């Protein structure tokens, strides 16, 4: 079974519309929809925005559905000139740009629960997803994706994240999903269709391009599930 998590309804509604043999179950406050997509068993959930909501959803999905892999899909801001709106960032690892234990001697982003800064994504999933995107004519870039409980919309914040972590995109859920998956020994992947440039115009661009970016992310899931 493949688990699919998006922060917002718009990020998973296209996948759910194509899911067959649907069954719905509510765990806590989260609605899980299971069924088949292109003949593959999946379960999808809208976790809500932010790291805590994403972590809660991931743990519940793992405990109840025991997925073989979890894919976190959705939209994010680009941190590189190589990705523009509706291009796709595929994480090879994830990190938390707002996790700061530097006052006690740790490096920025170090998470004691997993004893690392950058949590590696599943290499096989990264390869398959990247190939699916390229075959579909989508421009992609692979690299670190950084998460934090902030909507990044300033050059200063953008430069800090790039300078510290070398990230190619930023968002608000992927690294917490990665942390929960790592602790539970569940492979995971994080994919973000670019909705904005994480700069002074980010909020305007995000509003305009969110539906297009979310649709691009959903198409990726549909094409990748049969190969995963």
- Which of the residues are catalytic? 11, 196
Distance separating alpha carbons of residues 151 and 79, to the nearest angstrom: 13
Alpha-carbon distances of 204 from 39, 47, 81, 161, rounded to whole Å: 39, 24, 18, 21
Residue located via tokens 């995000």: 206
Q: Which of 124-159 are b and which e, b meaning 16 or more Cβ less than 10 Å from the residue's Cβ? A: ebbebbbebbeeeebebbbbbbbbbeebbbeeebbe
- Provide the greatest CA pair distance for the chain: 52
* 17 within 8 A of 83, measured Cβ to Cβ: no
Question: For residue 196, what are the β-bridge partners?
Answer: 77
**Residue whose C-alpha is closest to residue 194's, from 30, 81, 103:** 81
Q: Which two tokens stand for residue 11?
A: 């990020």
Q: How many residues does the chain have?
A: 228
Are 89 and 77 a contacting pair, CB within 8 Å? no
Bridge-based pairing of strands 20-27 and 30-37 is antiparallel
CB 215 within 8 A of CB 14: yes
Q: Which two tokens stand for residue 34?
A: 């299971």
């Amino acid at each position: 079974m493949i688990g699919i998590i998006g922060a917002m309804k718009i990020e998973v509604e296209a996948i759910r519309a194509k899911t067959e043999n649907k069954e719905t179950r509510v765990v806590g406050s989260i609605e899980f929809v299971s069924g088949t997509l292109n003949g593959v068993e999946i379960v999808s959930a809208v976790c809500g925005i932010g790291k805590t909501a994403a972590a809660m959803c991931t743990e519940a999905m793992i405990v109840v559905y025991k997925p073989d892999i979890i894919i976190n899909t959705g939209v994010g801001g680009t941190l590189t000139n190589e990705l523009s709106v509706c291009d796709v960032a595929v994480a090879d690892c994830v990190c938390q740009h707002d996790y700061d234990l530097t006052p006690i001697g740790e490096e920025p982003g170090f998470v004691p629960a997993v004893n690392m800064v950058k949590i590696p994504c599943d290499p096989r999933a990264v390869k398959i997803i990247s190939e699916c995107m390229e075959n579909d004519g989508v421009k992609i870039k692979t690299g670190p994706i950084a998460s934090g409980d902030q909507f990044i919309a300033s050059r200063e914040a953008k430069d800090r994240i790039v300078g510290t972590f070398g990230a190619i995109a930023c968002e608000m859920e992927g690294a917490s999903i990665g942390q929960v998956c790592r602790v539970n020994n569940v492979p995971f992947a994080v994919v973000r269709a670019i909705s904005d440039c994480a700069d002074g115009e980010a909020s305007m661009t995000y509003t305009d391009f969110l539906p297009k970016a979310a649709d691009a992310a959903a198409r990726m899931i549909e094409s990748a599930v049969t190969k995963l």
